[in-house]
Amino acid sequence: SDVHAMSRQQLAVQRARKSFQTGKTKPLESRIHQLRNLLRFVTERRRDIAEAVKKDLSKSEHGTELFETLGVEGEIKLAIEKLAEWAAPRPVEKSLLTISDEVFMHPEPLGVVLIIGAWNYPWAVTLQPLVGAIAAGNAAVIKPSEVCCHSAKVMEELLPQYLDKDLYPVVTGGVPETQELLRQRFDHIFYTGSSAVGKLVMEAAARNLTPVTLELGGKSPCYIDKNCDITVACRRITWGKFVNCGQTCIAPDYVLCDPSIQNRVQEEIKNCIKEFYTDDPKTFEDYGRIINKRHFKRIMALMEGSTVVVGGDSDESQCYIAPTVLKNVTGESKVMKEEIFGPLLPIITVSGVDEAIQFINEREKPLVIYVFSNDNKLIKRVIAETSSGALLANDCLVHFTVSSLPFGGVGNSGMGCYHGRYGFDQLSHMRSCLIKQLKMEGVNSMRYPPHTAKKLGW
């Protein structure tokens, strides 16, 4: 009868914990076995995944492969290949005092991890943290975003056919269900989503002293130096901005550039939009839709007070907003007050890199800063004088795919990081181990009372 009184969320967590406590995730072979099953899921169910994402976000099948499943597959393969190395004891430097001891860090699993995902890349932001959780030997409760209801349903139905059902349950639901989950005790919470909800997650975690990873968003600036190849820069920016209709946490949010290149930037981006999405992006299969009416209305309202110079048209019945470029934007414009998370690209003019740096530093620390320049010194200056989760020069988005770089935010854009080894480390406890011998007692005489001057040699 106890079982009946328990919520679905409570039950899932309890089962995961019991299962974790059997110790079955400790052997590396068992983790590799689960990782291989996850890989099999992603490859065998590629069609189901792509179809769900198409229903959720009107993304093309190849778009989903390119931006979601390929990356997950790469992370799983890397983890399988490197697990023995990652999980091995890590010797640390010795001193005279520890010269004959064993001194090392031993990565150990944390326990039960809660993974809460966002809707914009519904598979990547849930399965990639899961790779780290499995590799590190944890159990994990997976909560996909309810906003992508088709993806959440496929995950709930199909993932348990591949993974250990008790160790890695998928628990679906919206805000009340997530709140019920957050009332449970976890050993780590890995959250991807907005900064506002990130604060609620951290508050809930604090009650149990549960550590958190927060993968949040924000306004990622993009500075274009007037002395760079503006044509190539704008091509890469157009791609990074309008993929997934701008609903990408690392999308360049706004452009900063010198007034003398503003019109050129605007024209180049206009040409690229046409090249990538034709004259009619609305009917073009590689251009998606805004996730729902609420976000559609929010994004449309952000245009108020700015001048539309490219695009601007929309269709509420389809949640369609054309790739749009805005001019006459200032730091005070509506579009600069929150993360856009949609296909609007404001251009703000600044007198040069000094003003760009100042503009950036007056705001919250972004997830990424983009710089386009031929001048390596200028790029290094931006690195030295600003702060952000990452800095990418002369391209967009691709740092996400570099598994040897930690991915994560700082300040308002989040805390903690993952991908590759960093995902493993993030969800492990680095236990300090010191093994001494019961020998050479003579050297310890100094520390035992009485602390006479004679013994200390003073």
What is the binding site for ligand NAD (CB under 6 A)? 116-120, 125, 143, 145-147, 174-175, 178-179, 192-194, 197, 200, 215-217, 249, 339, 341, 367, 409, 414
143/188 with CB nearer ligand NAD: 143
Query: Closest separation between CB of residue 407 and ligand NAD, Å?
Result: 7
Q: Which residues are CB-neighbours of 338 under 8 A, at least 6 positions away?
A: 219, 302
Closer of 164 and 339 to ligand NAD (Cβ):
339
Q: What is the DSSP string of 179-227?
A: HHHHTS--SEEEEES-HHHHHHHHHHHHTTT--EEEE----EEEEE-TT
Q: What share of the chain is helix, strand, coil (3-state, %, to 5)?
A: 50, 15, 35
Q: 139-143 and 188-192 as β-strands: parallel, antiparallel, unpaired?
A: unpaired
Cβ at position 395, least distance to ligand NAD in Å: 18
84 or 175: whose CB is closer to ligand NAD? 175
Give the Cα separation of 416 and 409 in Å (integer).
7
Radius of gyration from C-alpha coordinates of the chain? 25
Q: Least distance (Å) from ligand NAD to the CB of residue 389?
A: 8
Shortest distance, position 94 Cβ to ligand NAD, whole Å? 38
Q: Which two tokens stand for residue 14?
A: 């309890």
Round to whole Å and give the CA distance between 18 and 33.
20
Q: Which is nearer to ligand NAD, 87 or 112 (CB)?
A: 112
Catalytic option among 148, 222, 228, 249: 249
Q: 193 vs 56, 232, 247, 414, 419, CA distance in Å?
A: 17, 31, 12, 10, 17
**CA 152/CA 147 separation, integer angstroms:** 8
- What's the min distance (Å) between Cβ of 182 and ligand NAD? 6
Report the C-alpha gap between 256 and 193 in whole angstroms. 26
Query: Which DSSP letter does residue 170 get?
Result: B
Residue with the closest Cβ to ligand NAD? 217
Query: Which listed residue (68, 73, 75, 215) is catalytic?
Result: 215
Least distance to ligand NAD, CB of residue 173, Å:
7
Burial of 337 (0-12, 13-18, 19+ CB in 10 A): exposed
**CA distance linking residue 214 with residue 201, whole number of Å:** 9
Minimum CB distance to ligand NAD smaller for 182 or for 234: 182
Gap between the Cα atoms of 78 and 72, Å rounded? 10
Instruction: Say whether 313 sits in a helix, a strand or coil.
Output: coil
- Give how far Cα 19 sits from Cα of 38, 128, 208, 287, Å: 18, 22, 21, 44
CB of 295 to ligand NAD, least distance (A): 8
Q: Phi first, then psi: what are they for 213, rounded to 5°?
A: -115, 130
The reply to whether 249 belongs to the active site is yes
CB of 458 to ligand NAD, least distance (A): 56
| Ramachandran sector of residue 411 (left: φ over 0; alpha: ψ -120 to 50; beta: rest) | left
Which C-beta is closer to ligand NAD: that of 204 or that of 326? 204
Shortest CB 178 distance to ligand NAD, Å: 4
**323 versus 408: smaller Cβ distance to ligand NAD:** 408
Residues 6+ apart with CB under 8 A from 275: none
Query: What DSSP string describes 351-412?
Result: SSHHHHHHHHHTSPPPSEEEEE-S-HHHHHHHHHH---SEEEESSSSGGGG-TTS-B---GG
Identify which of residues 63 and 117 has a Cβ nearer to ligand NAD in the complex: 117
Q: Residue 175 or 402: which CB sits closer to ligand NAD?
A: 175
Active-site residue, 268 included: no
Q: Could you list the active site residues?
A: 215, 249
